[in-house]
Amino acid sequence: MTDIQAWPLNIDFTIAVQNPHLCFVDPELKQASTAKNSRGRVLLWSGNFATVYKLTKGNRSWAVRCFTRIPQSDVQQRYRLISEYLSQHPIPYLVDFEFLTQGILVKGEWYPILKMDWVQGSEIDRYIGEYIDDSQVLLRLDRQLKQLQKDLQQVGIAHGDLQHGNIMVDSEGELKLVDYDGMYVPALRGAPPLEVGHPNYQPPMRSSKDFGDRLDEFSFEVISLSLRALASQPNLWETFHEDNKNLIFRQNDFQEPELSPVFQSISNIPDDETRELCDRLIRRCHGEDRQDQPEQPLRRDKLIVTQYKMFLVLGLAVFAIVCLIFWPAKKNPSQPQPPVTNIPTNPPLSSPSPTNPPTPVAVAAPKLIPITAATLQAKYAEGQRDFRYVQLTGNQGDRIQGQDFSNINLSGSVLERVDLRQVIFKNANLSGIKIVKVDLRGADLSNSSLVDANLSFSNLTEANLSQANLLRANLSQSKLVSALLPKAELMRSNLSEADLSSANLKGANLVLANLRKANLVKANLSESNLGAANLSEAILDEADLSSADLRSAELHLTNLSNANLSSANLTAAKLVLIEFAGANLNGANFRNAIVENIGSIEAANFTNALNLAPNIRKYFCSLASGNAAETGISTKSTLNCLP
């Protein structure tokens, strides 16, 4: 490599690349043209160690990386070893590259460059920003990243600098990795890394001694947790994302995770997988690797304890201030004392600062107001509609069954031992209500708001919940037999072990819903959105899932016998130990689906199935018998199995 005392500046490289036929010796680059903007200025992308230019010849483009500082003496040897190893272990996420010692001519001297195939697409942070309100896209990215991590680990490769600028989403929606300066391959074992990666994606204790095949584990978990959190709470993007710097985490979050507003926000997300990932990342921040050390108590508990201590201290401070304010009033009884109500006892989790957005102060919930059924009915008849935070405990002789309470506001209330059969709560505000083990058979809750409501163990047989908002509602072990839920909002709702047999859920939004062990026999889920839903051990025998969106859904030990999955989207779905006997999969999309240990596909119809990978088709063919599907054609024929 040429030993140059005065290394070229960015402007020097930029001037040179405007004349490819003069500055390059590589025959392809020599005949290429340099990409420019509408004003005729050269397009460039600057990083810590290199400036990248786009060169195009015909329908092919390359990224030319010009080093902005003198590369280490062994950089050419490193790239040679990386190239040799990748040629023996090709994976689809990496692009072809070539290190050229005599790369670019600048001011009469040759300097090295890296020539890589150009990836047409978006950096992952820009892609996330574009789809921030589409949880399915974010969860699909998470699934793809997990597969990418698995594939890298299988061949002993680590990228070394996984971050938003080095992960691209191409025009087909697939992931590509760029910038291999910090890459580890087995041939580099024992060598120090060229870099230690972007600080907003690396563990706080990473040093130049860390260089091996497990180098990416922390970065993968940072990105995965960011995606899962954003899929649940997209507002985190606006609060914590900084353009071209991070997704939602910063280096200081990893240094003191118990005081980090990002970790504290995520720790409250009601999703077990997200919380487990949050706990694991916090342990890694403290250097506690579960694969190397015994299981430690969840660090999220420490978060809660820290918050509690802070709340207690500020609560005492508030109490002291109140005492000082009202002490003179006690000495002068004739002076009226103002009432003190709803003093906020929960402080902000951190002081507001330009780099640390304030967290809203939590205010204690109002005390429940006891009310009788008779009083509720009388006041409603008089025109009152606001009954927030009331507690209604039913007594013998109460006659609420079949009553019309349309447009009532019972948000935050508790209803116990009340007969609500055929009651009308149309357009009602029931957000946060708790009506556990209540009889709601035949009730009309259409267009009502039941956000964060607790209806577990309740009987909602034949209830009308059309277009109701059940966001994050708890309906575990409830009875919803033949219930009407078309176009209902059920995102992140808990329907585990619920009986939804023959229920109408057409067009419902069930993204991230928990339907584990749910009974969905003959349920209508056509055109519903089940993106990333948990359908493990669910029974969907004869269910209608035609045109349903099951992208990234979890189907483990799920019974889909005789189900209608025609035109269903199973992209990136996990299909393990499931039953497909008699299922109609005509036109179903299997792109990137994970298929393992299928129980039976007897008499299933795979006509016009899309993106059925050759290995999956071969696997299905090995399971298929000559028995005919409902179409009268054998399953083998619908799979186009070779004789």
Quote the Cα angle for 579-581-584, to 5°: 105
What is the CATH number that goes with domain 122-186+197-290? 1.10.510.10
Q: Can you read off the two tokens belonging to residue 545?
A: 């899932």
> What residue spans in the chain does CATH classification 3.30.200 cover?
10-117
Q: Give the separation between CA 81 and CA 184, rounded to whole angstroms.
A: 10
Q: Note the pLDDT tens digit of each residue in 119-139.
A: 888 999 999 999 999 999 999
Helix (H) or strand (E) holding 217: helix 217-232
The three-state DSSP-derived secondary structure of 525-593 is CCCCECCCCECCCCECCCCECCCCECCCCEEECCECCCCECCCCECCCCEEECCECCCCECCCCECCCC
CATH T-level assignment (fold) for domain 10-117: Phosphorylase Kinase; domain 1 (3.30.200)
CB atoms < 10 A from the CB of 108, how many?
5
Q: Note the pLDDT tens digit of each residue in 513-531.
A: 999 999 999 999 999 999 8
The predicted model gives 341-359 an average pLDDT of 35
Compute φ and ψ for 36, nearest 5 degrees.
-135, 160
Percent of the chain's residues with pLDDT above 90: 53
The predicted model gives 525-546 an average pLDDT of 94
**What is the overall mean pLDDT for the chain?**
84
The predicted model gives 284-297 an average pLDDT of 57
Confidence class for position 195, pLDDT limits 50, 70, 90: confident
CB atoms < 10 A from the CB of 519, how many?
21
| pTM, entire model | 0.49
Q: Give the separation between CA 513 and CA 533, rounded to whole angstroms.
A: 5
> What residue spans in the chain does CATH classification 1.10.510.10 cover?
122-186+197-290
Kindly tell me if the per-residue pLDDT of 288 is higher than 90.
no
